[in-house]
Structure formats: C-alpha cells, structure tokens
Chain A
Amino acid sequence: MYLLRRLGFYALAAFVAVSVNFFLPRLAPGDPASTMFANYSTQLTPAALDGLREAYGLTDDPLVVQYGRYLWALLHGDLGVSLSQFPSPVTDVIATGLGWSILLGVVSVAASFVIGCALGAVAAWRRSGIVDRVAPPSLIFVGSFPYFFLALLLMYLLAFDWGVFPLGHAYDDGLEPALTLEFAGSVATHLALPVFTIVLVSVGSWTLNMRNAMVGVLSEDYLTLAEAKGLAPRHILLRHAVRNALLPNVTMLGMAVGMVFSGQILTEIVFSYPGLGFLLLQAVTTVDYPLMQALFLIITLSVLAANFIVDSLYALLDPRVRQVVAA
C-alpha cells in the first residue's frame, strides 16, 4: 500500500519532469540554427539551409503543437534524432555513453558510501581515536579542493608522470570489447583513477554525516541497555548502532545516485571517459533539443528510481515507516 501510493506520486512527478524537459531548453537563449551554422560553416547557401531545416525537423509550429508531438513520440519510445550528431538517432548517441556512466557512477558512489560510512562509524565508535582525529578533517580538507584541479593534478602525477594509471578512456584502445579477463582488467585499471578522484572528494561528507549520526545513536538509552545486557561490542556496533545511524546516509544515497549523470561531467572530461556527462554539456552548448530532452529524461528517471528504491529500503531498514503508513 505504502509503495503503491509512492508509485502514484512518482508517475505524477515523471509527467511534470517530462513537460519541464520540453519547455525549459526552449526558454533558454540560443537556437538550433546556430548549431547548423557552426557545423556547416561557409558552405551554407539559403537553399541548403532550407533543405536542412526540413531534414532536421525544425518547424515554426506553435510550441503547444510541438509539445503534443513530443509527448506522442515519447509515448511510442521515440526520442527523435540528435541535431548535433545528425542524422544519428538520440538513442544511438546515448547508447555510446550510458553503460560507462552507470559503471563509473555506481562504483564510485558505492565506494564512497561504503568507505565513508565505515570510517564514520569507526570514528564515532572510538571517539577521539586516531581515525576520529585524522579522517574527517583531512577528508573534508581534500574534498574542499576544486574537483577539476584535484583531478587534473592526480592525472598529471599518477597517469602522465608516473604512468601508474592510463591517461584516459574506458579501456585500452588496442582491445575490442569482449568477455575476457584481459578486457575486464583493462576496464578496471581505466576505472580506478576516475573512481579514486570521485571518492576522494565525496567520501568526506559521508564520513562526517555517518560519524555525527553515530554519535547521536550511541548516546541513546537502548545502546546503554544493550551494553548492560552484555552483548558483544561488535554486535552492538553493527546491529544496533550502525543500522540506525545509516538511515540519513541512505537518504543521501538516493540523491547521490540521482546526481550520477550530471555530477560526473568533470570526471568524464578530465579522464576522457566516454560517459553521458560530456554529452549533456555538448547537447546544451549546441542547443540540441532532442538530445537534451532525452538526457534530462534519463536524469529525472534515475533520480525518481533511486528515490523509489531508497523509499523501499527505508521500509526495510526502519520498521517505523511501515507502521506509520499503515496507521
């Protein structure tokens, strides 16, 4: 029941988002025709321009009519043709980066979440211990660097100068994608440095949040009781303290997953990683409406999906949620 109601809410949110996706890009300054000029340069004669406008599907119809057409096409799963990569369909353009973005996003978010929560938990458990004194401040310090600078610096040192990691791309240029150990290894080594930079800047906030939540939980009466009952410290830490302190971070996790595509733009640029973030930037600068719409759609849907999963997880982690809704 709880989940069903949430689903209804998500359907409405999705519709609103789809509509905003259509209108927002068109309210921004710029005109797809400028992309055409930039692309075609001096060879564009008036006759050629008209021919292209027609091919591109650019019309002067009222916005409402275009909106109707867009919704209709969307219902049929038709995302249209990219203007900046004309005549490739938007789905083809997105297919070039979707998988890599998901891989990079999931691995880096999972890594920073796990590491951050673990560090935070340990820091709070051993208050004023070495981890507590060193980890949060130093991680926050590193995290406050401009990401672009930090990533370039690491790339310069680790990839360019020392050659520990490859300079860019998702796998070795000499390989063809295949289900082999060699290819998987190549993917892993190419993934390591981008993930490391993301973890480095984002782990601090996870750590701090987890530590603070833990400190709160640890002062609760039921933990004193658990201790008095003589439960093993490890058991208390994992089953009672961490599980409760994790809740706020799980909410954050939903948001972090949603931000994966938009937040990874810089990483993907610095490491020439073939993901979607860069495509988004490209779509915006070239006023590529269909590509923008499709990417926004993916971002919206992923935020909604992530939140839905978090909502569901919440119900699992925290019995109170289930009870409140049932009441």
Chain B
Amino acid sequence: MRHTVTRHPAFCPHVSREPVSRPVTRRAFIGGAGVLALGVAATACGSTTPSKTSPSGRPAGTALVTLVAESSRNFTRNFNPFSPTSRWAALKAMYEPLMINNSATGKLDPWIASKAEWNGPTRLDLTLRNDVKWSDGKSFQASDVVFTFELMKRNKGLIGPASGAWEDYLASVEAVDPATVRFTLTKPYSPALYILVSQFVVPEHVWSSIPDPVKHTNPDPVATGPFTVVKSFQPQRYQLTANPHYWQKLGVGGLNIPAFSGNDQISAATIGGQIDWGGLVPDPDKTFVSRDPQHFGYWWPRTTCVYLMLNTEKKPFDDVRVRKAVSLALDRQRMIDIAVWGKSAPANATGLPSGPYKDWIDPAVVQEGASWVGHDAAKAGALLDEAGLKKGADGFRTLPDGTPLKLSIIVPTGWNDWISSSQCVADNLKEVGIRVELKTIAYETWTDSTYQGRFDLTLGSAERTATPFEFFRGMMSSATYKPVGTASALNVQRYKSAEADKLLAEFAATPDLAAQQALSKQLEALFSREAPVVPLYEQPDWGLYNTRRVTGFPTEKDPYAPLTLQSTPSTFLVYPKLRSV
C-alpha cells in the first residue's frame, strides 16, 4: 500500500532495490578514500584533461544518453515491471505511471492520465489522455488500466505502487468510457489518490495471454514510455532506442546503460566525462565540476531526511527523555560537514524536510522543537541522569537497574555518508557517556535486521510522498507497527501512538487540503513531543549531469523535476526536455 515506487537497483556488490527511496548513490561512496579519489583530488585543480571518450558522432537528435542507472553486473534481460529484479529501465523509461508525483515541485504532474478528481468520498475518476499509444501502435485505453489493477488483484506476487490497495481500501476499478477510469473505495481514504495514480500500466492485449506474469521476464516490452526498443542487450551494457509511437517529441535517440562493478569504476567514468547523467563523485565541487565547469554540474535537492532510528521496544529507548537526550548530544553540523561535504542543513523538529513540505510545516513546532534538535551535551547529560541512566565508575552510563549499557549502531557496508554520520553519532554519544559501537554489515543483513527490529540504533530515511501522511503513518501509527521479529519496512523503530492513529484516520477521511494541513500540524506537534525517531539532517538526492553531448537536465535554476535517477518515476519528466548537442 505504498505510494511511491521505491524499488531501486543498489550499488555494488549486487542488484537489489533499496528501501524507502534511498538514492542509488547511497552505496556509492565506498571509494571516498580510495586510490582513485586521492588521485582525483590531486589532479582536480590541474588542467581539464580531455575526455578519452569520443563524441557520439551521431547526427543531432539521435544521441544515446549514457546513464549510471544500475551498478548490477552481468545484466539479465528482465523488463517485467512487476518484478523486483527487473532492469532499471522497466520502471524508469518504459512503463509509465498514470500521474507523477514531482518531488522537485511538490506537485502531482498529469501524465498519461490528464486529470484525477474525487466525485464523493469514495469515488475517484481519472481522465486519460487520448493521444497515448502503446509501442506496438495500439491505443492506450481505460481498459488497460482496469486490466492492470485486476491482474494485480489476481496475482499477489506482482509488485507495484498500488500493491495492497485491494486488501486495504479498493473496491472496484471500471472503465466508464475509453478515456475514463473510475475507482471505487471501500472507505474514504484520501491518500489513495497519490497511490493509485502512481501505478504503472501494462497493455491488456499483451499481458492477457501471459500464463504466469510473476515469472515472466518480458524480454521485448510493449509499453507507453519513451524508450521501449531494446536495440542491444549485453551482460555489460544495454541500449534502448525510442518508442516510435511515443506521445511526446524526443530530442535524444535513446539510452545507453553500462554496468559497473563498484564505486571507483563509476567515479572514474563520471570524472572522465563518459557519463551524461548520474554517476558518483565525492565532493563534486573539487573532484568533478572543476574539471569542466562549462559542462559538468550537479544538483542535490533535499527531499527527505536522515533519521537516527532508536529501537523503542528496547530499554532505554522506550523513554522519550532518553531519545531527546540522544538528540541533544549530536553535533549535526559536524555530521553534515563530514558526511555530505557541507551540502545539507540540519533537520527540524517536525521530521519533515523543509523544501517539499514548506506549506505543511508549522513554524511554531519548528521553533519550540529547536530545544531538542540542537546540540547541547550538558542538557543531554542532565536528561539522561533524570531518566536514571547514571554514570558508572568507568564514566559510562548504566541502565537504571545497573546493567552496563553497550549499544551498537548498524549501517550497510559502502554507504559511506551514512557510515560517517554513524561514526559521528557514536563519537557524540560517547561524550555523554553512552557506549556505542559502529558496525557495518552487508546490505541484505542490514535490511533483515532493521525490518525485524533486531537492532539498537541505525539510520533511516522516509518515503518521498505528496503529503506528509505517509511519513507520519510510517513513523507513529499502529498500522505500520509490528512486534520485534515480524518484518516491516516502515516503522522499524517500532513506535505507535493512539493519538497519531486518530489524527491519521481524520487525515485519510478528508480530501480537503486545508483540513489536511491543520491535521499535519497536530501530527508535527505530536512528533516533536514524542520524538519517535531523531531527525539528523536533510538527505541530498544525488544528481550529476554532463552537458557535452546532451542538455536540458533539471538544475537548481530550472527545477522542473528531480535530477536523481532513483526516486519515483520522475525520469519520465526529464526525457522530453533532453536535447542532443
């Protein structure tokens, strides 16, 4: 029942999708201190080394855009959009969602559906564009949308943004006419709008004859997206060219997606100018932009936050005083300077990132909450004393019953900005007498441990959604709460509040924006009072571009869409704006 498509290929050493909208470059910072990075820093101030790659050599308008989309090695040909292991392009260049939640503008952009409208509390009507065609030339119609939802109802193993909608609130989907889809809900549930329109659509005339859609690898996709023709597929790279029937004009010829085995390889290719979009470099001003300031650029908007997750099912984190003391012990600016080269800002006490939710955040809560998200070690110590965590003879604190407090903070191997931040957390907590050991573990193990609630401390982030509803639902509601040992991707800190449940239910029941915003402010106040997690700093969405061969990327000056290749299907917003040089 999630809203955003948060299935991302993650970096070396395996293909996997990252949780809660983690940007792909997350694990990309392995190379920070590596040989390459050192060399790069040393040569960064020198002359701009000419690129070893030759220009595309193709006529204008037909250039292939080279992307760092997935670091998976040895690509296998899987373009099934419902599969978690499908190639990146399936959801980012082929199968289009009905509408796109644009996290750069905070708006819901019409896409192959032009309008969504509530007609009563449980009826949502969707108007489709009439000029959209499938890549085989057949028309895209309401019956395809109905078929997609019915297919997901029949096959539980098909995963998409609207997975779980049938169990939770969806009663029926019907085609009123070829251009109108009507969703009927079992109960008033306003967040359904964003979830249902995020669903991608598959063609009925193709998928109705596929015997087992869960096991289908869909080697030759038929979709509505811009790049549906698999021109070449090799284990080390694949190339897609334009859908001849695409409903918008395209200024580039297709996509070229090479495989990389690790961060150093990506950094080398990025700095070498071989990549047009995406990639990875440490400290981009020094290592990247300086090499070719005319063409190389980056834009890191901040659309979610990094949170310190404290397992509230475990002592002493069941005590809000301890959670706030931990928060007060942390030097957020130091974390930002070390982990993300100063390119962020400390998070506020509402837990919401200030950019995308500026209309939702209550300034009063921010101001009052500053008392627990600032850096004040003395106050932290006093709070810990008050909570009964006295310092022992060795200077480290014990639980009220005298048991020594030995905690660990877990983060996935290779996620270097998070590892640096966690190291700062461990250092800061040591200063107030809490012993914390930093443990870096394999990504899968980390996912398993955090989802099952088997950890003391870890870092986390939140989904990028249109309203703060999902954020508070994932942080404080009993709907996402699972006991330790039962897996849950949300609410890993395992916090629930009856008050939050009540406010969320009211939020879901009203489609009125002003009422929702008022409820959000109450939820923010509750969050600031209870501190279910500790907000650290705003998470930059890594995004790099190189305009030597292709222009038109979103930038800080022209923020029409996110630049990241990994969050939600926002890449669809960018493709029509790209132009070959």
Enumerate chain A interface residues (CB-CB to B < 8 A). 30-31, 33-45, 47-48, 50-52, 54-55, 81-82, 84-88, 92-93, 96-97, 149, 152-153, 155-156, 159-161, 163, 167-171, 173, 176-177, 268-274, 278-279, 281-282, 285-287
Contact = CB atoms under 8 A, between A and B. Distances in A.
Interface of B: 1-2, 5-8, 10, 12-20, 34-36, 39, 43, 52, 73-78, 80, 83-85, 155-161, 163-164, 167, 212, 214-217, 232, 234-237, 256, 258-262, 264-265, 268-269, 272, 274, 442-445, 447-448, 451, 463, 487, 489-490
A96 B74 contact: yes
Contacts of B259: 169, 272, 274
Nearest to B442: A285
A173 B275 CA distance: 13
Nearest to B15: A84
Instruction: Give the residue among B35, B52, B216 with the most A Cβ atoms within 10 A.
Output: B35
A268 B261 contact: yes
A84 B167 contact: no
B444 A285 contact: yes
A30 B445 contact: yes
A82 B78 CA distance: 12
A39 B7 contact: yes
Given A169-B258, A272-B265, A38 B73 contact: no
Contacts of A88: 76-78, 85, 217
29 contacts: A30-B448, A36-B84, A37-B451, A38-B16, A38-B447, A39-B85, A41-B18, A42-B2, A43-B6, A51-B158, A52-B214, A55-B157, A87-B85, A96-B75, A96-B235, A152-B36, A160-B36, A161-B39, A167-B269, A168-B261, A173-B236, A173-B256, A269-B262, A272-B261, A274-B259, A278-B73, A279-B73, A282-B13, A282-B14
Q: Is the interface of A mostly helix, strand, loop or mixed?
A: helix
B14 A40 contact: no
A152 B157 contact: no
Given A88-B76, A161-B39, 11 more contacts: A34-B448, A40-B17, A42-B19, A42-B490, A47-B167, A51-B156, A97-B73, A152-B35, A169-B259, A272-B260, A282-B14
A265 to B, nearest CB: 9
Contacts of A268: 73, 261
A87 B159 contact: no
A169 to B, nearest CB: 5
Contacts of B274: 167
Contact of A38 (B17, B163, B269): B17
Nearest to A154: B35
A152 B35 CA distance: 7
Contacts of A281: 13-14
A52 B261 CA distance: 28
Contacts of B17: 38-41
Contacts of B216: 87
Given A40-B159, A42-B2, A156-B39, A93 B237 contact: no
Nearest to B449: A34
B35 A51 contact: no
A34 B260 contact: no
Given A55-B214, A88-B78, A282-B15, A272 B7 contact: no
Nearest to A190: B236
Given A92-B76, A97-B74, A169 B236 contact: yes
